Every structure is written in structure tokens, then in C-alpha cells.
Structure 1
Amino acid sequence: MPTLADLSEPESFAHGRVTWRSGAGVCLLTLTNPPANGYSYEMMRDLDEAVLRARMDTAVEVIVLAGASEKFFCAGADIGMLDRLDPDFKYAFCLHANETLLRLEHTPKLVVAALGGHCVGGGLEVAMAADLRWARADSGKCGLPEVALGVLPGTGGTQRLSRIVGKSRSIAMMASGELVGYARAQELGLVDEVIAADDDASFLDAVLDRIGAFLRPGHSSTSVGLIKRAVQTGWELPLEAGLALERELQARLFASDDAKEGLAAFVEKRPARFEGK
């Protein structure tokens, strides 16, 4: 199972708002904008580049998103930045953020958001673009409180929250600006797992330990990636179109070395060793 010690030293992208560490099949992307990791255009530019790099890197099987703070995964958009910008730039900023999170959502690799500290506003919108959200117990709250600023959650919040917790519940949460602890978020289905840990380092090690279950050679990351693609792309399609997509992705897997290995290992009653091919 991978640990933080297995990952490379942090390296920053052009604007210094996201750092990259990788190793043992994992890529750790850390949002870095003290004190609350508020996201800006510069952070989204860095995240966009990081997602593309992870997508193209065949050694990366799972992407982990984290925040560079004990207190915050991400406190949302940098309000000072938004206050200074004109409406046209704000619109283009939201559009680029939408495109970046869609790119993350459609990358055929498992994405886990490791929520240590508060995850509110745009921070939760980033986390909701991940496939799984694992939170450090009692480390903070999450929610979309943009109504207090006279705006709406404009980086996918209205769309993704409603798909995760349901229409009426999402409207109630956003209209009231309700913030909930991670135990309640798990009850709502907004968080998939709550992990007890003393600090962020031990929390991330626990996250990486769990991620080991999705990595080669014991697990086919290729299958995981295409399962994700089938769900993410097929979710809004009519059933017959979704089934057609599923068949095409299955055909790709049947032609892969991983499928041949998995079927042979089952017949031969031995553990499979997948290579992601």
C-alpha cells in the first residue's frame, strides 16, 4: 500500500497554487493558497495543467486532491479577487473553472478528494467533481453558503449537489447556506467515508492506504477508469444510449490484456496480476 513516503518531493506549477507529488501509482495534487486555500484563476490554471498531466501519465492510476492546510481543504473562491474583477472576467473565470472540473470528472482515472478541514463554497464544488470524497473526522464542515454573498454556487454547485443529495435537499442546503459536519455529510451521501486521524499527514496516509485497493497489480485500473467513464458520460443519457456506451467500453476491455489476465486467473484459481494494458 502506498504512503506519503513513497511519493516524490512536491513540485509546483506555473502559478504556485497547486503542487504535484507522485509515486506508487498515485498522484497527489495539493491546493496551495494560504491561509484558507481559496481558489483563484491562477489556481484553476494550475489545476487544469495538473489534471492534464495526470491524465497523460501512464504511471498514474489514481488522483488524490488535498488542501495544504490543517484547517481548510478549500474555503472557496478568493472573494477579494472576485471583488476586484469586472463581470466579463468573472464570467470567463467561471467558464474556465467549469471546463477544468469537467476535465477532472471525465479523466478515466479514479479521483479521490481528501477533505481535511473545512470544505465550503467553491472548495466543495471542486470536491464534488471527484469520484469519491473521504473526509477527516471532526476536521471541519462543508456546504455551499454563496447565498450570503448574494450569488449562487457558480462552479457546478447547483448541478452536482442536486445530483448527489437530491433536488429538494440541495435547494434547502443552498438557499439556507447550511454547513454540515462530515458525519452528517456522510449521512446525506455527500461524503463517502469519514476517517479518524490525528492530523493531515496521518489522514493522507490512511487515504493512500485505502487507495491501494484500487491499484495494480491486484486491481485493474483500466477497468476502474472505464467504469468511471461509463457512469460519468452515461448518467444523463437515455438508457439505450447509455447501454450502447457501456457495450463499446466493454468491447475495449474484452480486447485488453487485463481482461485476458483476469479471466485466465479466475479459471486457473489464482490471483490476477494486472498491468493496465
Structure 2
Amino acid sequence: MKQFTVDAVTSNVRRVTFTSPPFNLIGADTLAELSGIVDRLSGDEQVSVVIFDSGTPGFFLNHVDSNQIPAIADMAGNGFLPGFVEVGVRLAAAPFVSIASIRGRTRGGGAEYTAAFDLRYASRERAVLGQPEVGFGLVPGAGGTERLAHLLGRDRALEVLLTGQDYDADRAAEYGWVTRAIPDAELDDFVNAVARRIAGFGKQAVTAIKTQVNRSTLPPEEDLLASFAESVRSTTGPDVAARGQALGELIARIGIDDLERNLGHHLGAPAEQP
């Protein structure tokens, strides 16, 4: 079953919509499909801007489905990068400008991929960003640590990664995690206007500017590989089973919907939640 749809907004602008209810979790099939879409759009000479949004209310790109972790860890890239890392690398380096229109929760692996987009516009009322891996006894593996250090600076990146808290759009914009926080009622028109404006310029100049900026801002691939290896090792860490059991008990009390909607709040000390 397809999780993504691709629509033409104009002759050189595309909209990619991710719909995988109820929570837009990321699995190996999600990555395979997204990888194929990036390939296809990268090969289309007409496409200069791609908008990414969500068709699942309350969620944008969410965290990895825990049941899919072994399958994702086994994904192979083009003979070098693991598939989990490669998707973010190719998004950042794609020969089009990628724009995230964030309306809903964006956490974990989804937040890592969102950080790989070129521009990120977040609904002031509905966007939530977080890197909750520490609350599961894990560490990020899709390049989030490297990209957040570039975007937020060392101290704020550490705050985000070590607390596992949720951040609203205004705080995310203040930190540099998103490009701007936009009132929800204005988000679609604003993103469309930015996309059309960029697409109105010559693609050669637009992609050349992106390439130049990428040279000074994208993390080296060896660093991404090191982070992925550390992430895989963390899945067998001593804290994972205990955190997983505590979260399972928490879900039994509050339900999975409450957990997914308020994950940053619940992760602090799941064993102590009432």
C-alpha cells in the first residue's frame, strides 16, 4: 500500500504527501518508497521545488516504528551508506529545493529527515518537534545529531537530544530548528508562495546556490556512518529493555494515542507516571 502521493502544483513544483495513519510512523517500506520518490523527482529536469506535507491529522514525519528497527538496520544503500542514513543524505543533496510544511508531530527519525530538508515551515498551533530516542535508551541514527548541531548550535542541540522534550513551533524557530513558525491558517498559502517564487528562477542558479551552501553545512558521510553504527549498538544497550517495559506499562494505563500525542511529556520518567 502506498504511503506517499505525488501531485503537480505547477510544471516545476511537486507536492509529496505522507499518509500512514494513525501516527505516520516510519518503517522500512516507508524508506524504500521515499527513496524511490527522491530518485524519480531528482531525475525530472522540470522539477525545481518539492513540498513535503502530511495527510494524517496531528502527525508529519514521525518516529521509527519500533517493530521495524531490525528491518531498517538491515537496509543497504548504494554499496556504502545504510538505507536509513542514505535517504537523508539524498534528500539534502537532491537537485531540487525541498520544503517541509510541518503540521503535526515530527519526532525521532522523522525529525532527523525533516532536518535534511532545505526549508522547514511549521504550523504555530499544530507543529511539534522532538528527538525522544534517549527516553527509549537509544541514540539517533539518521544524521539528526550532526544536522542539529549545525542548525541549533552545540548547547541547544544537546538540550534537545538529552532531554527528549517536545518543542512547539515558536521555540523551534527561535532555536533555528525550523525556518519560520507560521499561523496554521496561513501555512499552506505561505509555503506555496515560497515554492512558486523559488521555482520562478532558473533551476541552474537555484541548484548551484544549494550546492554551494551544502558544501559548508552538510555533515561528512563518515560522521553519519559513525552515528548510525552507534545507533545500532544502542539497540542492545542495558537500558533499552527496562525503558521498553516501563513504556509498555505506561501505554497500558494511558493508551497509545495519548503517548504518541504527548510523547515528550511522558518520556521523562515513564516508570513514575501515575
Q: 2:2 aligns with which of 4, 13, 16?
A: 16
The alignment status of 1:92 with 2:74, answered yes or no, reads yes
Q: What residue is the counterpart of 2:204 in the other structure? A: 222
Deviations 1:198-218 (A, max 9, x none): 3xxx633431122211122xx
Q: 1:116 aligns with which of 103, 106, 110?
A: 103
Q: How does 1:62-73 map to 2 (within 5 A)?
A: 62-73=49-60
Deviations 1:165-222 (A, max 9, x none): 0112211211111211000100001111122133xxx633431122211122xx2232
Task: Give the whole-Å Cα distance in 2 for the aligned partners of 1:108 and 1:59.
Answer: 11
Choose 203-212 or 62-71, whichever is displaced more.
203-212
The alignment status of 1:211 with 2:195, answered yes or no, reads yes
Partner SS, residue 206 of structure 1: helix
Q: Is the 8 A contact 1:63 1:110 kept in 2?
A: yes
Q: Is the 8 A contact 2:51 2:99 kept in 1?
A: yes
Q: Is the 8 A contact 1:22 1:60 kept in 2?
A: no
Q: 2:157 aligns with which of 170, 183, 188?
A: 170
Q: Is the 8 A contact 1:143 1:178 kept in 2?
A: yes
**Deviation for aligned residue 1:27:** 1.2
**Deviation for aligned residue 1:236:** 6.3
> Normalising by the residue count of structure 2, what TM-score does the alignment of the two structures yield?
0.73
Q: 1:35 aligns with which of 22, 27, 31?
A: 22
Partner SS, residue 156 of structure 2: helix
Partner SS, residue 74 of structure 2: helix
Partner SS, residue 20 of structure 1: strand
**Deviation for aligned residue 1:48:** 0.4
Deviations 1:6-52 (A, max 9, x none): xxxxxxxxx51221112412111122211111111101001001001
**What is the one-letter code of the residue matched to 2:194?**
R
Q: What residue is the counterpart of 1:135 in the other structure? A: 122
Task: Give the whole-Å Cα distance in 1 for the aligned partners of 2:123 and 2:218.
Answer: 31
Task: Give the whole-Å Cα distance in 1 for the aligned partners of 2:183 and 2:205.
Answer: 30
Q: Name which structure has the greater RCO, CA cutoff 8 Å, separation 6+.
A: 2
Task: Give the whole-Å Cα distance in 2 for the aligned partners of 1:220 and 1:38.
Answer: 36
Partner SS, residue 184 of structure 2: coil
Q: Is the 8 A contact 1:27 1:63 kept in 2?
A: yes
Q: Is the 8 A contact 1:37 1:68 kept in 2?
A: no
Task: Give the whole-Å Cα distance in 1 for the aligned partners of 2:126 and 2:91.
Answer: 25
Give unpaired runs (5+ residues) of structure 1.
1-14, 238-277
**What is the one-letter code of the residue matched to 1:104?**
L
Q: What residue is the counterpart of 2:134 in the other structure? A: 147
Task: Give the whole-Å Cα distance in 2 for the aligned partners of 1:209 and 1:70.
Answer: 23
Task: Give the whole-Å Cα distance in 2 for the aligned partners of 1:229 and 1:222.
Answer: 10
Task: Give the whole-Å Cα distance in 2 for the aligned partners of 1:196 and 1:101.
Answer: 27
State the aligned residue count.
213
Task: Give the whole-Å Cα distance in 2 for the aligned partners of 1:234 and 1:157.
Answer: 17
Task: Give the whole-Å Cα distance in 1 for the aligned partners of 2:218 and 2:174.
Answer: 24
> Normalising by the residue count of structure 1, what TM-score does the alignment of the two structures yield?
0.72
**What is the one-letter code of the residue matched to 1:231?**
V
Q: CA separation of 1:168/1:27 partners in 2, compared to 1, >3 Å: closer, same or farther? A: same
Q: 1:194 aligns with which of 181, 186, 196?
A: 181
Partner SS, residue 46 of structure 1: helix
Q: CA separation of 1:101/1:174 partners in 2, compared to 1, >3 Å: closer, same or farther? A: same
Q: What residue is the counterpart of 2:265 in the other structure? A: none
Partner SS, residue 50 of structure 2: strand
Q: What residue is the counterpart of 1:264 in the other structure? A: none
Q: Is the 8 A contact 2:59 2:106 kept in 1?
A: yes
